[in-house]
Amino acid sequence: MKYSLTLLVFVSGMTSLALEMCASHLLGAYFGTSLYIWAVLIGLILIYLTIGYFLGGRLADHHPSSQVLCSITAAAALTTSLIPFVSQGILSWAANAISQVSVSAFLASLLGTVLLFAVPVTLLGLVSPFAVRLATQDVGRSGRISGSLYAISTAGSILGAFLPVLWLIPTFGVRRTFLIFGALLFAASLWGLRPLLRPAFALALVALVLPLGPLKNIPYLTYEQESLYNYIQVTQLPDGTRQLILNEGQAIHSIHYSDPNRVLTGWYWDYFLTAPYFNPGPTPKKLQRVAIIGLAGGTIAHEITQVYGDVPIDGVEIDPAIVNVGRKYFDMNEPNLHVSIQDGRTFLATTHEKYDLIVIDAFQQPYIPFQLTTREFFTQIHDHLSPNGVVALNTAHTNTDYRLVHAFVNTMSQVFPSVYTFDVPETFNTEVMATMRPTSVETFRTNLSTLDPTTVMGQVANEVSPVVKQGHPDGGIVFTDDRAPIEQITDQLLLNYIQQP
């Protein structure tokens, strides 16, 4: 019994942490991966474990039996194995509540976590106090025994933190990973089960090979992949248009048209093409080098190449799987595009290049990663821009709430002499651009007015020129590395949108 009990404690500890890591990946496909979602997940997991610890000690005192303990862990294994089969229905229902603007992402993820993980995690919380009771025959050794068992459980948890992230999820997918840990936990429980319950283990093994289908069912799904960072989906519409969708699917991150002659998207991406026109006498030849932080499937790189020619472009994307998808499904094969797979801050810290345009379009929808919003980050941007350089980013507003836009204007104004905003018509997008030199709206509009309205840039100019505004600091918050509450402000925007009549 000693070695079997030790193994069960180890596997139970491993499974409890693996459930948490898998849960974050599963919830990310529906609600994103913000700090609020992580707070919901970690907080509820700790509540479940607390309840399990509390009940486990009392149950062990009344029924100190290995058969009872193994029945508990077997039940935890079976409920873990059920998660892949019921998750899509539960999480899709919760996500639909968001799309119908009836609850927030916070509440929907809270509900989804309660329904999916309460039973298996609570049952796993019973294991350690129950095992201590079974292993303690001599009260004089209770401290040593309990310390050893908790150390073994924690060692299992360490493996449970790394194994899913580094191997199982990228190799087998998050739902298959749930099944693998369910089978391992059931196998570790067999020694104490009644013979009649052991055939259930065979059913758990069968579940490992059952077809599961896509993690989410969305219209026109062509390809899906679970990467280290994202749940990646590619859709192809009946007209051949391909769209890159990530995680919860509330935004399109890249687009590719079947018509090779089509350049403009009609979205905020087109606005980035006008950034060089803040400087006097702009010509395509004056754009010498471009950086894109948040490359995704390469839509911006494709537009810049089509309009400005083979200007060198450094595209930065943290997820290598997205880069592969961009090359395969979005024709991201421009010879002038050099791809760096790393975080935007890391890229800026290691490159010595100077750029005429730096575009920031990195999202963990609906949030911009905080490290790409701060005064310190824009100081790094400043150091990598040419004397005529421009930095451009995309953010959001509602009909009445521009707090996020104002925060960016406040922050960027501390680094750059001129800042501008563009509200993209019929959307909640606002582009913010800043220039290295003092510039003006008048110069920008004058430059755009020289473009032939029948050309691609002429079409963009016709849309952009009326909406450009000078950005003025309002004395409000400035994002810094120490304090950048971008997720809180974004969630307040969403809440205000929900409350609008």
User: What tokens does 424 get?
Assistant: 């993209």
User: What tokens does 321 get?
Assistant: 């799987």
344 in a known ligand binding site? yes
Burial of 149 (0-12, 13-18, 19+ CB in 10 A): buried
Taking residue 366's Cβ as centre, other Cβ atoms within 10 Å add up to: 18
Taking residue 171's Cβ as centre, other Cβ atoms within 10 Å add up to: 11
Active site residue 452: no
Nearest CA among 422, 392, 396, 372 for reference residue 489: 396
Question: Are 273 and 295 spatial neighbours (Cβ–Cβ below 8 Å)?
Answer: no
User: What tokens does 210 get?
Assistant: 């059952």
369 in a known ligand binding site? yes
Strand partners, 422: 431, 468
Which segments of 164-298 does DSSP mark as H helices, in order? Answer: 169-172, 174-189, 199-207
317 in a known ligand binding site? yes
Helix and strand numbers (H, E) in the chain are 17, 12
- Location of structure tokens 């005192």: 61
User: Which of 361, 383, 474, 482 does the annotation list as catalytic?
Assistant: 361
Taking residue 22's Cβ as centre, other Cβ atoms within 10 Å add up to: 27
CA-CA distance, 295 to 385, in Å (whole number)? 18
CA-CA distance, 11 to 29, in Å (whole number)? 27
Taking residue 63's Cβ as centre, other Cβ atoms within 10 Å add up to: 12
Most distant CA pair in the chain, distance: 91
* DSSP 8-state class, residue 98: H
Question: Are 304 and 273 spatial neighbours (Cβ–Cβ below 8 Å)?
Answer: yes
User: What tokens does 218 get?
Assistant: 């969305």
Burial of 19 (0-12, 13-18, 19+ CB in 10 A): buried
Q: What are phi and psi of 354, to 5 degrees?
A: -110, 145
- Location of structure tokens 């990530």: 246
User: What tokens does 310 get?
Assistant: 């083979």
Q: What is the CA radius of gyration of the chain?
A: 27
Question: Are 38 and 364 spatial neighbours (Cβ–Cβ below 8 Å)?
Answer: no
CA-CA distance, 326 to 341, in Å (whole number)? 13
- Location of structure tokens 């859709």: 235
195 in a known ligand binding site? no
Nearest CA among 234, 239, 259 for reference residue 325: 234
3-state secondary structure of 118: helix
Active site residues: 361
- Which residues are annotated binding-site positions for S-methyl-5'-thioadenosine? 230, 317, 343-344, 369
- Which residues are annotated binding-site positions? 230, 317, 343-344, 369
